[in-house]
Amino acid sequence: MNATSHGFEDMKLNIKIKLSALWTSVTLCYLYGDYFELYVPQKTQGLVTGANLLDTPFKLFAASVLLAIPALMVFLSVSLKPAVNRRLNIALGFFFTVIMLLIAVTSLTPWRMFYVFLAVVESCLTSLIIWYAWKWPQERVSNQ
Q: What is the pLDDT of residues 9-41, one digit of tens each?
A: 888 999 999 999 999 999 999 999 999 999 999
DSSP string, the chain: -EE-TTS-EE-PPPHHHHHHHHHHHHHHHHHHHHHHHTTSTTHHHHHHHT-STT-SHHHHHHHHHHHHHHHHHHHHHHHS-HHHHHHHHHHHHHHHHHHHHHHHHHT-SGGGHHHHHHHHHHHHHHHHHHHHHHTPPPPP----
* Per-residue pLDDT, 24: 98
Residue 4's pLDDT is 57
Q: What pLDDT score does 144 carry? A: 60
Which parts of the chain register pLDDT below 70?
1-5, 141-144
Q: Which pLDDT belongs to residue 50?
A: 82
pLDDT score, position 47? 84
The predicted pLDDT at position 140 comes to 75
